[in-house]
Amino acid sequence: MNSELSGFTVFVFAGGGSLGAIEVRMLPERGEHPGCVVGASAGAIDAAYFARQPDGGGVAMLEAL
């Protein structure tokens, strides 16, 4: 394993419509801070919004969408 990547957290958001929204909503509750986010289908939209503002405000913006 590359030691430079040790401890690097990646969030992967699933597709499936509302499933992705549920995943994003859990993030601020856990206090997780990723180094990278990726997603498929609806999860890609979630990942883009979360990457823009990775906090409770970003999640609220996504919920409004």
Q: DSSP assignment, residue 32?
A: -
Give me the amino acid identity at 40: A
pLDDT at residue 60, as a whole number? 80
Per-residue pLDDT reduced to its tens digit, 20-53: 666 766 666 666 678 888 888 888 888 888 888 8
Question: Does 1 score more than 50 pLDDT?
Answer: no
pLDDT at residue 37, as a whole number? 86
Cα of first residue to Cα of last residue in the chain, in angstroms, is 39
Measuring CA to CA, how many Å separate 13 from each of 3, 4, 21, 52, 54? 25, 24, 9, 15, 14
Q: DSSP assignment, residue 39?
A: E
